[in-house]
Structure 1
Amino acid sequence: MGRTSTTNGQPTDELARDRASRWWVRGRRVGSVDRAAKFVDDVGFALLFPAAKPIGPSLWEAVAGEDEEPFAGGMNDNEQKVWGWKDELPRRGLAWYGAFLGGRGSFLSPSLLANLYPGDGELDDHEHLDLSPAAHELAAALAIEPLSSATLRALLGDKNKYQRAIGELQKNLLVTTAGVEEQSNGWPAALLTLTCEQFDVGGRLDHREAARQYLDTMLDAAPTDLARAFRWPTLKARDLLNELLDLDQATTKDGRRYQPTGPS
Structure 2
Amino acid sequence: MKANADRAPYDELASDRATRWWVRGNRVGSVQRAGKFVDDVGFALLFPAPRPIGPSLWEAVAGEDAEPFGGGMGEDEQKVWGWKDELPRRGLAWYGAYLGGRGSFLSPALLAAIYPGAGELDDHEHLDLSPGAHEIAGALATEPLSSAALRLILGDKNKYQRAIGELQRNLLVTTAGVQESSNGWPAALLTLTCEQFDVGGRRDHSRATLQYLDTMLDASAAELARAFRWSPARARELLDQLVDTDRATSDGSRYRPLSPP
Partner residue in 2 for 1:141: 139
Quick one: distance in 1 between partners of 2:8 and 2:84?
Answer: 28
- Find the counterpart in structure 1 of residue 173 from structure 2: 175
Give deviations 1:128-181, integer Å, cap 9, x for gaps: 111111100000000000000000011001111101100010000000000001
Give the residue type in structure 2 aligned to 1:182.
E
Q: Choose 88-97 or 7-16, whichever is displaced more.
A: 7-16
Whole-Å Cα distance in 2 between the matches of residues 211 and 180 of structure 1? 32
Secondary structure at 1:12's aligned position in 2?
A: helix
Aligned equivalent of 1:234: 232
CA distance in 1, matches of 2:247, 2:123: 32
Once the two structures are superposed, the pairs formed by residues 160-171 of structure 1 within 5 Å of their partners are 160-171=158-169
**Structure 1 residue matching 2:219: 3-state secondary structure:** coil
Name the amino acid aligned to 1:77: E
Match of 1:130 among 128, 131, 150: 128
- What is the aligned length? 256
Q: TM-score, normalised by structure 1?
A: 0.95
TM-superposed deviation, 1:187: 1.8
Match of 1:258 among 251, 255, 258: 255
Residue identity opposite 1:262 in structure 2? S
Task: From 198, 201, 225, give the equivalent of 1:203.
Answer: 201
Letter in 2 for 1:231: R
Instruction: After TM superposition, give the deviation of residue 36 of structure 1 in Å.
Output: 0.2
SS of match in other structure, 1:98: strand
Paired residue for 1:12?
Answer: 10
Residues 146, 225 of structure 1: alpha-carbon distance in 2 compared, 3 angstrom cutoff:
same
Matched residues in 1 for 2:236 and 2:252: separation?
10
AA aligned to 1:100 is Y
> Cα offset for 1:18?
0.2
Mapped to 2, the partners of 1:75 and 1:10 lie a distance apart of: 37
User: 1:244 corresponds to which residue?
Assistant: 242
Distance of 1:49 and 1:248 partners within structure 2: 34
Give the distance between the partners of 1:171 and 1:126, measured in 2 at CA.
Answer: 12
Unmatched 5+ stretches in structure 2: none
Distance of aligned partners of 1:191 and 1:154 in 2 relative to their CA distance in 1, 3 Å threshold: same
Name the CA distance, whole Å, in 1 between partners of 2:106 and 2:7: 25
Partner residue, 2:21? 23
Q: Tell me the amino acid that sits aligned with residue 72 of structure 2.
A: G
Q: TM-score w.r.t. structure 2 length?
A: 0.96
Q: Secondary structure at the match of 2:134?
A: helix
Instruction: Give the letter aligned to residue 67 of structure 2.
Output: E
* Alignment root-mean-square deviation, CA: 1.5
Q: How far off its partner does 1:57 sit?
A: 0.1
Aligned in 2, Cα 1:94/1:11: closer, same or farther, shift over 3 Å?
farther
Match of 2:157 among 156, 159, 162: 159
